[in-house]
């Protein structure tokens, strides 16, 4: 089961900070982050990669993005 983060409606840097906090605390190897702006999608993806996570998948649905990140 994945760690889920719903950051829809939040502007940067909040989605990035939520991911960073979850990545430190979780023992799960997958985190799914929901965002609703291109900037948040890019910033979360970049932050995750800088911390050793891989962007496994990004799904777009009605201007919302589901970013699936896996621990390397």
pLDDT one-digit tens code per residue, 28-51: 999 999 999 999 999 999 999 999
**Domain range holding 67?**
3-71
Which element (helix H / strand E) includes 26? none
Most distant CA pair in the chain, distance: 31
- Look at residue 11 and tell me whether its pLDDT is greater than 90: yes
CATH of the domain at 57: 3.30.110.40
Question: Over the chain, what is the mean pLDDT?
Answer: 97
53 by Cβ neighbours in 10 Å (0-12 / 13-18 / 19+) ranks as buried
Please give the tally of structural domains in the chain: 1
Which element (helix H / strand E) includes 66? strand 64-71
């Amino acid at each position: 089961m994945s760690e889920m983060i719903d950051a829809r409606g939040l502007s940067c840097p909040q989605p990035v900070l939520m991911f960073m906090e979850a990545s430190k605390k979780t023992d799960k190897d997958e985190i799914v982050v929901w965002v609703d702006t291109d900037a948040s999608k890019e910033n979360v993806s970049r932050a995750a990669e800088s911390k050793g996570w891989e962007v496994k998948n990004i799904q777009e649905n009605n201007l919302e993005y589901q970013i699936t990140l896996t621990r390397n």
